[in-house]
Amino acid sequence: MNPLSHDEMERFQKLSNTYEPDVQGPLVSNKQSSHSIALDYSNADSTLATKTNALAVTHPECRIMKGDGNCGWRAVAFGYFETLFALRDTIRIEAEIQRMKSLTALLEQVGLSDSIYEIFVDTTEDVLNQTHAAILGGAQDESFLVETFNEGYTSEAIITHFRLLTSAWLKINSSRYQAFLNMPLESYCATRIDPVKTEIDEIGLQALVDCVIDGSGFGVEILYLDRSQGDVVTPHQLSSNRPNDATIRLLYRPGHYDILYPANNHLNMAPIVNLQYEMTSDYSPWDQSALGFDVNSSLMAIPNLMQDPSFGMGAPMSPMPSVSPTPASPFRMSPQQDVYSPPMHSSPMHSSPMQTHAIPSIPISSPPAQLAPPSAAPPPMTSLPSRSSEGPQIRLNPLVMKPNLSRSLPVSPPFKK
């Protein structure tokens, strides 16, 4: 074997030192179909192929993180902001801004000076404010967050902020984590948490969730894709909270993290509900034949509904407020959703049948006081504008009237925004 000359060795060493893996793609991708993940594994080990195919059904959408060493940190950070935005609760964001500020005490506690951490903390706060403003401004979707996270400097600042908080948290709660580490905690932080572009490991991820995410009340779940026995990815709950509508779901493949979106969550996201209304200025009455079932037998049961030609106007312009307030589990699939909700449960005030369908659990779980008995006298409709008046009108989308829609719909492209 020919030993390499000194020059050659030096050349190789230099190449090795400057080597950067050629990772393509944005830092945070747009939502995409999880079938792309299944495709990646179609020729791989059959366990992986089976699991990824099952994953594409249970979690039809994903968001790919750039594999540059920050992906796990970035996935959690992006998931945090995205979840916060999806709740569309400005009070909650204000609380988060305060909480993030209060976490700065941890950085002081481990002796970091504000001249060092200031730019990182400020960036997180800026993006929280941006999210707040986006909600007030009625932003349609989270694309502003995708853009923000693709700005290198902003992205790095938030990740660094989360790294520093995690590092400080580990040092302050060392007794809780040291047993899991094979080196002193100080050097663990200096070599595995603090350095830029160091991949997050399990202990780091747990500490990140404990320190930064848990206080928000959000859940964090990891789905492990590996060759272990079974037909589906192995889920693991990292947080003590597990709210269905505010859980960050990560897909872990050895050395890499991405974000996953489950099927039912998608259907119940506020913007999707919004799409069930169609704003139009040339209103035309319903075409019964366009509907796949007899609308009248159901709708006639709603007092006063069909008599009033402008019944569609009774619906609020934006259904969002009635969808977002309960963060717990109203959006979970319930047996009631399998059949078309009997309109009898609907209050005359909620004269829009599609609203009844979009959030069937709301009328049922509402306090009875709000529900007028079906036989009650119809409320006066005089305050409603007549349909000939100017301005946009709301026309029912026939599709949403279809029973069992929730079963057949989740990923069909026309409903994706």
Partner 1 sequence: MDYSMEDTQNSAPEAQQASKLNTSGQKGDTHNVTKRLQSELMQLMVSPSPGISAFPDADGNLLSWTATITGPTETPYENLRLKLSFAFPNNYPYSPPTVLFKTPIYHPNVDFSGRICLDILKDKWSAVYNVSTVLLSLQSLLGEPNNASPLNAQAAELWDSDQAEFKRHVLARHQDLDEE
Using rule CB under 8 A, residue 151 touches partner 1: yes
The full DSSP string for 251-277 is EEETTEEEEEE-HHHHHHSHHHHHTTE
Q: Which of residues 93-112 bind partner 1 (CB under 8 A)?
A: 112
Using rule CB under 8 A, residue 194 touches partner 1: yes
Q: List residues bridging with 253 in a β-sheet.
A: 256
Instruction: Name the one range near partner 1 by CB under 8 A: 15-23, 214-222, 350-358, 397-405.
Output: 15-23
Whose structure tokens read 């796949």? Answer: 292
Question: Six-digit token pair at 140?
Answer: 């349609």
| Interface pick for partner 1 out of 9, 23, 136, 300 (rule CB under 8 A) | 23
User: What span, in angstroms and rounded, lies between the C-alpha atoms of 355 and 259?
Assistant: 30
| Interface pick for partner 1 out of 133, 196, 290, 344 (rule CB under 8 A) | 196
* Residue 162: closest CA among 225, 128, 207: 207
DSSP structural state of residue 116: H
Cβ-based nearer residue to partner 1, 26 or 309: 26
Cβ-based nearer residue to partner 1, 195 or 230: 195
| Interface pick for partner 1 out of 9, 44, 116, 136 (rule CB under 8 A) | 116
Using rule CB under 8 A, residue 118 touches partner 1: yes
Using rule CB under 8 A, residue 27 touches partner 1: yes
Q: How far is the CB of 194 from partner 1 (least distance, A)?
A: 4
Instruction: Name the one range near partner 1 by CB under 8 A: 25-33, 97-105, 132-140, 391-399.
Output: 25-33
Cβ-based nearer residue to partner 1, 115 or 284: 115
Using rule CB under 8 A, residue 337 touches partner 1: no
Instruction: Name the one range near partner 1 by CB under 8 A: 95-103, 155-163, 322-330, 343-351.
Output: 155-163
Report helix, strand or coil for 394: strand
Tell me how many residues contact partner 1 (CB under 8 A): 34
CA 281 to chain centroid, in Å, comes to 33
Question: Six-digit token pair at 379?
Answer: 């409320």
Using rule CB under 8 A, residue 17 touches partner 1: yes
Using rule CB under 8 A, residue 120 touches partner 1: yes
User: What span, in angstroms and rounded, lies between the C-alpha atoms of 188 and 191?
Assistant: 5
Pairing verdict, β 219-224 and 247-253: parallel
CB atoms within 10 A of CB 183: 12
Using rule CB under 8 A, residue 190 touches partner 1: yes
Q: Cβ neighbours of residue 245 under 8 Å, at least 6 residues apart? A: 86, 87, 265, 268, 327, 328, 329, 331
Using rule CB under 8 A, residue 386 touches partner 1: no
Q: Are 267 and 406 in contact (CB under 8 A)?
A: yes
CB atoms within 10 A of CB 345: 16
Q: Which of residues 60-89 bind partner 1 (CB under 8 A)?
A: 66, 68
Cβ-based nearer residue to partner 1, 245 or 258: 258
Q: How far is the CB of 116 from partner 1 (least distance, A)?
A: 5
Cβ-based nearer residue to partner 1, 110 or 232: 110
Q: How far is the CB of 32 from partner 1 (least distance, A)?
A: 15
Using rule CB under 8 A, residue 152 touches partner 1: yes
Q: Are 381 and 304 in contact (CB under 8 A)?
A: yes
Interaxial angle between packed helices 71-87 and 90-109, expressed in degrees from 0 to 180 and rounded to the nearest 10: 140
222 backbone dihedrals φ, ψ, rounded to 5°: -110, 135
User: What span, in angstroms and rounded, lies between the C-alpha atoms of 206 and 204?
Assistant: 5
Instruction: Name the one range near partner 1 by CB under 8 A: 42-50, 146-154, 301-309, 406-414.
Output: 146-154
Residue type, position 316, single letter: P
CB atoms within 10 A of CB 251: 24
Cβ-based nearer residue to partner 1, 124 or 356: 124
The residues that touch partner 1, with contacts defined as CB under 8 A, are: 17-18, 20, 23-27, 66, 68, 112-113, 115-120, 147, 150-153, 155-157, 160, 163-164, 190-191, 194-196
